[in-house]
Amino acid sequence: MEAKINTVADEQRARDFKGPNLSPARLFDSVPYWITIQDRDFRIVSASAKLIADFGDHLGEKCHVAYKNRSEPCAECTLECTFEDGQEHTSQEALFDAQGMPRHVLAKTAPVRNQAGEIAAVMKVYVDVTEVRALQNELAGLGQLIGEIAHDAKNILEGLQGGVYIVNLGFKNGNQEDIRVGWGMIQRNVTRLSARLMDMLYCARRRSPRRMPVFLPAVVREAVELFTPRARQFHIDLQLRAAEQVEVLGEPEQIHKLVSNLIGNAIDACTADAEKQGLHRIVVAVSRDELDAIIEVEDNGIGMDTTTRDVLFKDATTTKGNAGHGLGLLLAQKVASEHEGEITVQSQPGKGSVFTVRLPVRHPKSILT
Amino acid sequence: MDNNTIPRKKVLVVDDEKDISTYLSRIFEEGGFHVTCAADGEQALQAAERERPDLITMDLSMPRLSGVRSYQALKSRPDLATIPVIFVTGITGPGGPRDTERFYSTRRQIPPPDGFVSKPIDPAKVLELARELTSSSVLACPSPPDPQPLGLSTGSVPD
């Protein structure tokens, strides 16, 4: 269906219409979606107000550079397709907003024709599906979690049954050693079971985190220590810098998981980086300013562009010993926002990334009893 | 030869979960076997070479494919391939034991094991199966004479 553009008639209609001034430009800027108008060189000719507000002003830049940190156009660029065939094309993509955070989108391109009927530009409309993606990831993560817990539970049961069997042998034969060994197995597996149940309860719990004082340096140190063996295994220098007393209000387990997730991602970013093998370093720093407690996780790994984002957003990076319950970056964002904080990231492909978590610092007045 | 000099049958228990390893070991010891343990595929191969066990048990809970690789490695060694192997499996497939058997039988490179033991482990069933598999190896070849260092190569392999 070809739309005939007759600007004289448009203007007449605009004049006749009694009501607020609804020029096309104003309409364009009112649309609650992100829209770019781009030329054949991928350059952004125009953008909706919402896009500029959320992604920054990138007029004149190429879209893959501005929104994806890519030096090359994406494979199967829908813009190119539409320029070639004049048809609409749909895609699923990930863009990085003005804070450097990933936003998942459904995008659709359409040709914009001039009065001669030639394709002068292509319009691309993006719908934010980040929340939906987050929920999908969460579900997938939960599914995997349940699988891991079930598998663990089997082993725990085996351990308990084995302990019982061996204790009974001990009673039968009057063998103290058997009683000791068997009882140890039972105790150990009871502890494991207890920990698993706590994990399950934690995951089942919904919003409104508890507000208790959390001493950040200690929580962050625990997370760092958890990953130290793994970092060493990959010859990554994992450092902690936490000199100050920094306290926030929230849930220590959630913050622990958030930091663990970021460290795990940093390790993945380093192991994915073939160039600097043996020279990788991750620095976890805890500090504060006037308003916020700040946790920074900096790595000199592969850095982020669209390709590596898939490594980071892969949910549940299972690490043996860490109860295997990793959160994706999207869920880490959820933890941060539940603590009224935020995560931002700076990244350069090939150079590395810095994830900065800001959480409101605990003020003496805000003690809730 | 009287009963007292018949050497105990040897079992190699391969499992990376220490408690399961201990459990199986005590079951076999109570059943009169001599037990060696290995916690991974590499240790399993080394122990199999060293001990020449009469039976090997391997834990092959489905998610853990390294167990399968160790098994393949074992079966690819002609001197070790004849040792009977029991899979100890936590059945996770929806069909139960049939599923597991089908899983292994469809993989052509993996010869099926000589027996399955499903979790939760039933000590009596384990011993019954173990005795069955190790007594048939006696019929196939004579058990080695009393282990005395009389210049007999300890590497002699039952055929």
In chain A, what residues touch B123 (CB-CB under 8 Å)?
Answer: 165
How confident is the model over A342-361, as pLDDT tens digits? 888 888 888 888 999 999 88
A181 in contact with chain B, both atoms CB, cutoff 8 A: yes
| Rounded Cα–Cα distance for residues B35 and A349 (Å) | 54
| Rounded Cα–Cα distance for residues A30 and A213 (Å) | 43
Closest residue to A165, CB basis, from B17, B26, B90: B26
Residues 102-131 on B with a CB inside 8 Å of A are: 119-121, 123
Average pLDDT over residues A308-335: 47
Say yes or no to pLDDT of A319 above 90. Answer: no
Query: What phi-psi label fits residue A298: left (phi over 0), alpha (psi between -120 and 50 degrees) or beta?
Result: beta
Residue A58: pLDDT band (50, 70, 90) is very high
Look at residue B56 and tell me if it is in a domain: yes
In chain B, what residues touch A158 (CB-CB under 8 Å)?
Answer: 17, 19-20, 23, 90, 119-121
CB–CB contact A185 B121 (8 Å) = no
CB–CB contact A162 B61 (8 Å) = no
| % of chain A exceeding 70 in pLDDT | 84
A192 in contact with chain B, both atoms CB, cutoff 8 A: no
Say yes or no to pLDDT of A320 above 50. Answer: no
Token pair 């995008």: residue? A107
> pTM of the prediction?
0.49
How confident is the model over A159-210, as pLDDT tens digits? 999 999 999 999 999 999 999 999 999 999 999 888 778 766 765 665 566 7
Query: Nearest residue on chain B to A188, judged by CA atoms?
Result: B19
Look at residue B156 and tell me if it is in a domain: no
Look at residue B142 and tell me if it is in a domain: no
Check residue B4 and report its DSSP letter: G
What's the pLDDT at A130? 82
Say yes or no to pLDDT of A247 above 80. Answer: yes
In chain B, what residues touch A149 (CB-CB under 8 Å)?
Answer: none
CATH number at residue B46: 3.40.50.2300
Better pLDDT: B142 or B126:
B126
Q: Mean pLDDT of all residues in chain A?
A: 82
**Looking at the 3D structure of chain B, how many domains does it have?**
1
CB–CB contact B19 A166 (8 Å) = no
Look at residue B148 and tell me if it is in a domain: no
Closest residue to A162, CB basis, from B19, B63, B92: B19
Helix, coil or strand: residue B117: strand
Token pair 């850095």: residue? A303
Cα A266 to Cα A144, A307, A314, A318, A321, distances in angstroms: 22, 15, 13, 14, 18
Cβ atoms of A236 and A270 closer than 8 Å: yes
Say yes or no to pLDDT of B126 above 60. Answer: yes
Look at residue B27 and tell me if it is in a domain: yes
How confident is the model over B21-77, as pLDDT tens digits? 999 999 999 999 999 999 887 888 999 999 999 999 998 764 455 677 788 888 888
What's the pLDDT at A295? 95
Q: Which has the closest alpha carbon to A103: A303, A333, A277?
A: A333
CB–CB contact A188 B19 (8 Å) = yes
What's the pLDDT at B103? 58
Helix, coil or strand: residue B96: coil
Look at residue B1 and tell me if it is in a domain: no
Q: How close is the nearest chain B Cα to the Cα of A176, in Å?
A: 14
Amino acid at B29: E
CB–CB contact A158 B19 (8 Å) = yes
CB–CB contact B19 A159 (8 Å) = yes
B19 in contact with chain A, both atoms CB, cutoff 8 A: yes
- Secondary structure of chain A as H, E, C letters: CCCCCCHHHHHHHHHHCCCCCCCHHHHHHHCCCEEEEECCCCEEEEECHHHHHHHCCCCCCEHHHHHHCCCCCCCCCHHHHHHHHCCCEEEEEEEECCCCCEEEEEEEEEEEECCCCCEEEEEEEEEECHHHHHHHHHHHHHHHHHHHHHHHHHHHHHHHHHHHHHHHHHHHHCCHHHHHHHHHHHHHHHHHHHHHHHHHHHHHCCCCCCCEEEEHHHHHHHHHHHHHHHHHHCCCEEEEECCCCCEEEECHHHHHHHHHHHHHHHHHHHHCCCCCCCCCEEEEEEEECCCEEEEEEEECCCCCCHHHHHHHHCCCCCCCCCCCCCCCHHHHHHHHHHCCCEEEEEEECCCEEEEEEEEEECCHHHCCC
How confident is the model over A19-42, as pLDDT tens digits? 666 788 888 888 999 999 999 999
Q: With a cut of 0.90, is the ipTM above it?
A: no
What's the pLDDT at A361? 83
What's the pLDDT at A202? 62
Better pLDDT: A323 or A285:
A285
CB–CB contact B22 A188 (8 Å) = no
Q: How close is the nearest chain B Cα to the Cα of A317, in Å?
A: 16
Q: How close is the nearest chain B Cα to the Cα of A284, in Å?
A: 33
Structural domain containing residue B83: 7-136
Amino acid at B124: A
A178 in contact with chain B, both atoms CB, cutoff 8 A: yes
φ and ψ at A246, to 5 degrees?
-130, 125
Say yes or no to pLDDT of A228 above 80. Answer: yes
Q: How close is the nearest chain B Cα to the Cα of A121, in Å?
A: 52
What's the pLDDT at A311? 46
Q: What are the DSSP E strand ranges found in B17-126?
A: 34-38, 55-59, 85-89, 115-118
What's the pLDDT at A197? 80
Cβ atoms of B45 and B70 closer than 8 Å: yes
Average pLDDT over residues A258-262: 88
CB–CB contact A158 B20 (8 Å) = yes
What's the pLDDT at A6? 66
What's the pLDDT at A314? 47
Average pLDDT over residues B1-18: 78
Residue from A146, A154, A318 whose CB has the most chain B CBs within 10 Å, to mutate: A154
Say yes or no to pLDDT of A1 above 60. Answer: no
Closest residue to A169, CB basis, from B26, B63, B121: B26
Closest residue to B120, CB basis, from A157, A166, A169: A157
A159 in contact with chain B, both atoms CB, cutoff 8 A: yes
What's the pLDDT at B123? 94
CB–CB contact A165 B23 (8 Å) = yes
Residues forming a β-bridge with A225: none
Better pLDDT: B98 or A89:
A89
Closest residue to B20, CB basis, from A151, A155, A178: A155
Look at residue B159 and tell me if it is in a domain: no
CB–CB contact A185 B92 (8 Å) = no
Residue B120: asked if its preceding bond is cis (omega within 30°), the reply is yes
Q: How close is the nearest chain B Cα to the Cα of A152, in Å?
A: 11
How confident is the model over A62-109, as pLDDT tens digits? 999 899 888 888 888 999 999 999 999 999 988 888 887 878 899 999
In chain A, what residues touch B26 (CB-CB under 8 Å)?
Answer: 162, 165-166, 169, 178
CA B12 to chain centre: 5
What's the pLDDT at A318? 35
Exposed, middle or buried: residue A327 (CB in 10 Å: 0-12, 13-18, 19+)? buried
CB–CB contact A154 B119 (8 Å) = yes
CB–CB contact B19 A185 (8 Å) = yes
Residue B154: pLDDT band (50, 70, 90) is very low
What's the pLDDT at A321? 27
B86 in contact with chain A, both atoms CB, cutoff 8 A: no
Look at residue B128 and tell me if it is in a domain: yes
| Rounded Cα–Cα distance for residues A126 and A32 (Å) | 10
A266 in contact with chain B, both atoms CB, cutoff 8 A: no
